[in-house]
Amino acid sequence: MTRPATIHEIGDKSDTEYRILFLGDIVGRAARNAIQDQLPQIKSDFGIDAAIVNCENAAGGFGVTPEICDRLFEAGCDVLTTGNHVFDKGEISPYLERQNRLIRPVNMGAEFPGAGHVTITLDSGMRLAVINVMCNLFMAENANAFMVMKQLMQTIMLGRDADVIVVDVHGEATSEKNAMGHFLDGQASLVVGTHTHIPTADHRILAAGTAYQTDAGMCGNYDSVIGMDKLAATSRFTGERKGSLSVASGEPSLCGLVVDINRQSGLAHAIYPFRTGGALSQTI
């Protein structure tokens, strides 16, 4: 397979900036193995200060296990986010209670284990806050995402409480994720959507300085239907066959974005799409 030409190069990082890598939903074993194998080199090559990855489909396309999380942390993931599939594997519940760097949507009910946000201090001294919120349109019923975020952002402020704030907005509707980006503009360093597994082409810096993309895409094989075997998925749409879906085999793409953030303001200076490997056009 002939690779498309390189689209751009990620610029040099200034000493006055932090560089954040965000990778979209991991779908299946091949994708998580690719992250484990490649993330240390990616962080080194591009001067990544922190890597945040959505892992909610890492275990066979549905949920995640403690063992998978541990391996992803060992590979260099600093925080793992999730979404509506976070509790598909029962053994993840006690793990969420003891591992604060794995978070679930903050607007889920208090009866669910774990937390929806975390602030960690990295070796560089950077205070990194990561928030996971789930949209309401076409999703399971949860507290209003906008009202929950309005209250939460009063307690986690750039400069005062964190040097960098990243918000993973897990949702189906592009309009709702777009609205959340503008709602949080100037309050977060990065607002990025997950869940649909298809990368959008609207990466940009919003008016008040927040980096934004409607969906980061997935880490998985794009010769598929959002990561699942394309024949099995298509036959369900035609009504010819029903049954369980399985993760598509083949080379995965690692898909997400890189953001440079001013150390003083906590707001974005540059945003780059990140796609490497597999069927998608390469951006590095």
End-to-end CA distance of the chain: 17
Residue 85: active-site member: yes
Provide the sign of the torsion angle of the four alpha carbons 274, 279, 281, 284, taken in this order. Answer: positive
Residues whose CB is less than 8 angstroms from the CB of residue 62 and which lie 6 or more positions away in sequence, other chains included? 85, 88, 89
Catalytic residue among 85, 170, 203, 269: 85
Phi then psi for residue 37, to 5 deg, are -75, -40
Three-state SS for 30-64 is HHHHHHHHHHHHHHHHHCCCEEEEECCECCCCCCC
Q: Is 278 exposed, middle or buried (0-12, 13-18, 19+ CB in 10 A)?
A: buried
Provide, for the chain, the percentages of residues in helix, strand and coil under a 3-state DSSP scheme, each rounded to the nearest 5: 20, 30, 50
Specify whether the CB–CB gap between 76 and 40 falls below 8 A: yes
Q: 130, 74, 127: which is closest to 101 by C-alpha?
A: 130
Q: How far is CA 194 from CA 37, 56, 109, 132, 199, in A?
A: 23, 10, 20, 10, 9
Catalytic positions: 85
